[in-house]
Structure 1
Amino acid sequence: MPLTHHPEPEEVDCLIRNAELRDEIEPYLDEAISEINFRLLPTPTENRFLESMLAWERAPLVSIARWFDPPLALQPACTLDDEQLFSRLWETIEKLFSKRIVLDFTDHFSDRELYSLIRREIFPAAVKRVDLPDNYIHWDCSADDAGEPLAWLKYYATDQEREQWVVEENRDPPAREVPPYPRALPTAPALS
């Protein structure tokens, strides 16, 4: 007597959604997607991945300040005393986190320097606004204007990362130092 598998309605819905997502993503596919073996993914996982890809492709490119209504603006740091600046900085960090923007590698900046970085570089930056609950933007605050990872190497990189950098760059990294301004900033939840 042959055993017949009768799929549950949830399974059928999941497969139908998968077919819809594959159709929707088709115009955006390129050779990079061929490196992912979807046959190894459970269908619900593949669906979440395809939904995130579609969200990315369709997301508007908007300056971070304009992610807020009204758009965020910070007055120049030189117009604030230390207490006002500290308060405004943490208020801004919390607002950024409310839009799932996480600031990474900030402990080498004073409050005034971090405030200025947010005002001058982060707020005006045009970034795709992907509105998915699991999507966090990690803003790497360690790169300098030339894109050099010297602050990251100096304050944050592990020994293994520093060794890898030496191999790749064929030069010595800066001497390691402890970041002078430790902060407990909000972080994205760990992926499960």
Structure 2
Amino acid sequence: MTDFDDEPDQDKRIEKLRSELEKLGGGVSQHPELSADLEEAFLKHILAFETAEPTTLLQWLENAGLEVPPTDRLDDAQLKAKLWEVINRMASLGAYLHNTNHLSDRELYAYLFDEGLREDAVLFPEDPSYVYGLDLLGSGSDEDMQLY
């Protein structure tokens, strides 16, 4: 990937960013009211996301030193403590849960262990403006709509 910051001219940096995104198979529409600074930052974010290697949330957590044992190896007190440890560590990585109130702690932990943490994710923990959301009711299914 090109080092865009080596180019002193902002218009040329923006064109290089657009060119890189085109090579990846997509373009980004231009918005005339968007300042060049915002456009450049936006294009850099898109390029970083599109070229990042997805990794499971479980791998992110393990890389951060957190052990996530299977649900059946935890009693209720251990599970509650581990669930909050997982949630807090996820938050430190920029990953957040949404719409979880319909689940018990054990159901939520089981979902995370069996499914949620095993999904590929692109995270940017060094960028507090980037958020990865894991919505437990976001499928749009009839059941999810009733729970919501």
| Kept in 2: contact 1:65–1:73 (CA 8 A) | no
What is the match of residue 165 of structure 1? none
Q: CA deviation at 1:26?
A: 2.8
CA distance in 1 between counterparts of 2:142 and 2:49 reads 27
Q: CA deviation at 1:21?
A: 1.8
1:8-31 Cα offsets, whole Å, 9 max, x none, are xxxx7543432332233231243x
User: Does the residue aligned with 1:67 lie in a helix, a strand or coil?
Assistant: helix
Q: Which amino acid aligns with 2:135?
A: D
- 1:22 paired with 2:18, answer yes
What is the match of residue 46 of structure 1? 39
Gaps of 5+ in 1: 1-11, 157-192
- 1:58 paired with 2:51, answer yes
Q: Which amino acid aligns with 2:104?
A: S
> Match for 1:105 among 99, 105, 110?
99
What is the TM-score with the length of structure 1 in the denominator? Answer: 0.62
What is the match of residue 117 of structure 1? 111
Aligned identity (percent) is: 29
What is the match of residue 83 of structure 1? 77
| Kept in 1: contact 2:92–2:125 (CA 8 A) | no
User: Does the residue aligned with 1:138 lie in a helix, a strand or coil?
Assistant: strand
Q: CA deviation at 1:47?
A: 1.0
Cα gap change, 1:65/1:48 in structure 2, threshold over 3 Å: closer, same or farther?
Answer: same
How many equivalent pairs are there? 139
| Kept in 2: contact 1:59–1:128 (CA 8 A) | yes
1:107-154 Cα offsets, whole Å, 9 max, x none, are 00000000011111122212234566121111111257xx62523x22
What is the match of residue 137 of structure 2? 142
Cα gap change, 1:27/1:148 in structure 2, threshold over 3 Å: closer, same or farther?
Answer: same
